[in-house]
Amino acid sequence: MRRSVPVLLWVPAALALALVVLPVIGLVARSDLGRLPELVTSPTALEALWLSVRTGAAATLLSLLFGGPLAVVLARGRLPGLRLLRAIVLLPLVLPPVVGGLALLYLLGRNGFGGQVLAVFGVRLPFTTAAVIIAQTFVAMPFLVIGLEGALRTAGERYEAVAATLGAAPWTVFRRVTVPLLLPSLGSSLVLAFARSLGEFGATITFAGNLEGTTQTLPLLVYVQSQSDVDAAVAVSLLLVVLAVVVIAVARPRSIEGRL
Amino acid sequence: MTLDLDITVRRDSFALSLELSVAAGEVVAVLGRNGAGKSTLLSALAGLLRPDSGRITLAGRVLTDASTGVHVPPHRRGIGLLAQDPLLFPHMTVAANVAFGPRSRGISRTDSAALVTRLLSDVDAAEFAARRPGQLSGGQAQRVAVARALASEPELLLLDEPFAALDVDAAPALRAMLRRVLRDSGRTALLVTHDPLDALVLADRVVVLSGGEIVEQGETRAVLSRPRTAFTARIAGLDLVSGVFGPSGLVVGDFVISGHVPAPIDEGTLAVAVFAPSAVAVHVSPPAGSPRNVFGAVVGGLEPHGDLIRLRVARSVDGPSWVEGLAADLTAAAVADLGLEPGVRVWLAVKAAEVALHPVAGGS
């Protein structure tokens, strides 16, 4: 039997939903549908879209390669100070992205100590596409780490302990038990990280700048165009909305659907 | 001896200290209630926990030695574990689950496939080979878990309450299957359980654990039918009263308990009276006809026990103190007819023919 929801909750719930849905409707209402195809397929928009997808994918991959192992260490490691580490990993989630971008700039910029080390090898990061990817990884990786860590904790170590008593070495256990059991939640964590990368603005503009074709991703383009050509800004915004809906529909992350 | 263990583990409010040996091919049961230290013992054996002091050797290999810091990791111990929950890997078929151990040890695909087929038919689970664990019942999954544990050919198999999570209907068949498989394969096994039936069916020898220490050990049937401590008697589901053996029976304070004496007992030595809870008659007024063994008490608690109700008594204000914790099995109808509920005064009567008197080892 389904329990009924108290009527009192319906009003704020409806308002909350309106807050999410109405702005999108406003965007559609404001758009010039006649010029939409032309605006969305303009070379600048397409270039920004392609850059966004490429950098977003790269940032997601980096998040997986580094954030995945970090999640395993945080969930399974027995180190002193692990709780503190866990809190630090959440920092980019709480920090305003602009601050993150500034921090990256003063670490990896020309005058930062990381930047000076890189300069020895002839590498300059700020205002390059690589900087966009680093900024996106910075903000997106925590989503993947907490998603995977939560899944690892929920799954518990019992299967892994059994695998060890069956004679499997730690790497075999990781490969044949831990990873396969994580796959479902890995999907949703990857989608979240990718979506966050696509939407990244603050850290990107401070650390990577706003150079057309190199660092101007879709959100940056929307910002620039909103100052000059509002119709174009609205059109590109709609493009981002569609992209977000497609990501959710295709991947249907379970954490978003609340079926964890 | 195949397994030799002498360890101490200390935790905040708990200490486990025990010495135990299991011979090759022997099945030993560790019997104890929750919190007795059973899971700590298993964790120490499986290598999931380091004891504070002591040594564990298996087939001549030192697995743990706290004094030299030796601690062989779980996957190199040759110790298999069958837990109460089958824990089959949900993303693999039944056959792949059973093949997991052999494949991890580098046995070829062909050889492990042959082993899987043989083991699955040993546990009557051959027809499930291609299924996923999610499609099996609890009993079927536990059969497969037995096959999987045997497939990695452990030198020692740990059985952790292997039937506790099963339906009452599924447990006896699985118990019988496990007995057959253990006997046929000549496995050395350590069974940890709170159910004396598991120990009776599977184990050659039983070790009774309480508060982190061994309180009694010996051949399974001897220990369970002639428990020497009240704790073992309770856990074995038997009533036990300690006293001194006298000319007309067991002297316990002002009482004399009559019973039969299966083996001669010297007068004046410590002895115990043992009887089954089903042999105890419960009365709400002193019984007429004065049967010899009658003890006054009050109802302490009632709990379901199979089809029956097990009544535990507490001492009454003017009655003997040693009745505390004795059990009597009654039908639900009898409990209702007599109006039994905690605090009600009762008299327990046991026929002398139902009481066995046993000497206590060492007489002390």
* Residue B56 phi, psi (nearest 5): -130, 125
Contact A158 B81 (CB under 8 A): no
- Looking at the DSSP bridge assignments, the partners of residue B255 are B252
Q: How far is A167 from chain B (nearest CA, A)?
A: 4
Hey, what CATH class is A47-254 in?
A: mainly alpha
pLDDT for the residue numbered B361: 44
pLDDT of residue A253: 53
Q: What is the pLDDT of residue B331?
A: 92
* Average of per-residue pLDDT values in chain A: 87
Per-residue pLDDT of B304-318, as tens digits, reads 877 888 898 888 888
Q: Do A172 and B104 touch (CB under 8 A)?
A: yes
Find the distance separating the first CA and the last CA of chain B, reported in whole Å.
30
Q: Does A155 touch chain B (CB under 8 A)?
A: no
The verdict on B109 touching A (C-beta cutoff 8 Å) is no
- How much is the pLDDT for A252? 64
Distance CA A65, CA B10 (A): 40
Residue A111 has pLDDT above 90, yes or no: no
Chain B residues whose CB is inside 8 A of the A167 CB are: 75-76, 78, 101, 104-105, 152
Convert the pLDDT of each residue in A201-233 to its tens digit: 999 999 998 888 889 999 999 999 889 888 888
Transcribe A95-110 into DSSP letters: S-HHHHHHHHHHHHST
Q: Which amino acid makes up residue B248?
A: S
Chain B's closest residue to A156, CA to CA, is: B87
**Cα(B358)–Cα(B356) distance, rounded to whole angstroms?**
6
pLDDT at site A1: 54
CB-nearest partner of B74 from A159, A164, A172: A164
A239 pLDDT tier (thresholds 50, 70, 90): confident
* Percentage of chain A lying above the pLDDT 70 cut: 95
User: In this complex, do A168 and B75 lie within 8 Å of one another by their Cβ atoms?
Assistant: yes
Tell me if A180 and B73 make a contact (CB, 8 A cut-off): no
Q: Is A13 on the interface with B (CB under 8 A)?
A: no
From the candidates A166, A173, A177, A182, which should be mutated to test the interface with B, based on the most B CB atoms within 10 A? A166
Regarding predicted confidence, which is higher, A117 or B306?
Answer: A117
Judge contact between A191 and A257, C-beta under 8 A: no
Q: At what angle do helices A43-62 and A129-155 cross, to 10 degrees?
A: 40
Quote the pLDDT of residue B1.
Answer: 53
| Confidence band for A104, pLDDT divided at 50, 70 and 90 | very high
Query: What percent of chain A has pLDDT above 90?
Result: 42
| Chain B residues touching A181 at Cβ < 8 A | 89-91
Contacts of B90 in chain A (CB under 8 A): 181
Chain B touched by A177 (CB under 8 Å): yes
Inter-chain residue contact A181 with B90, CB threshold 8 Å: yes
Domain residue spans of chain A: 47-254
* Candidate from A62-71, A160-169, A245-254, B50-59 with smallest mean pLDDT: A245-254
pLDDT at residue A52, rounded to an integer: 93
ipTM: 0.74
Answer yes or no: do A181 and B75 touch at CB < 8 A.
no
Where is pLDDT greater, at A244 or A130? A130
Chain A contact set for B91 (CB, 8 A) = 180-181, 183
Q: What is the location of CATH 2.40.50.100 in chain B? A: 238-363
The rounded distance, in Å, linking the Cα atoms of B291 and B349 is 7
Neighbours of B319 (CB within 10 A): 20
Chain A residues inside the 8 Å CB shell of B85: 158
**pLDDT lower than 50: segments of chain B:** 361-364
Per-residue pLDDT tens over the stretch A7-44: 889 999 999 999 989 998 988 888 878 888 888 888 88
Q: Is residue A254's pLDDT more than 80? A: no
CB contact under 8 A, A168 and B87: no
Find the helix packing angle between A129-155 and A179-199, rounded to 10°.
140
A256 pLDDT higher than 80: no
Superfamily of domain B3-225: P-loop containing nucleotide triphosphate hydrolases (3.40.50.300)
Q: Measured between alpha carbons, how far is residue A19 from residues A13, A23, A241, B151 in Å?
A: 10, 7, 15, 59
CB nearest B74 (choices: A165, A177, A180): A165
Quickly tell me which residue has 């997601």 as its tokens. A60
> CA of A73, closest CA in chain B: separation in Å?
18
Q: What is the pLDDT of residues A58-69, one digit of tens each?
A: 999 999 999 999
Predicted confidence at residue B113, as pLDDT, reads 93
- CATH number assigned to the domain with residue range B238-363, chosen from the 4 options 3.40.50.300, 2.30.30.100, 2.40.50.100, 3.40.980.10: 2.40.50.100
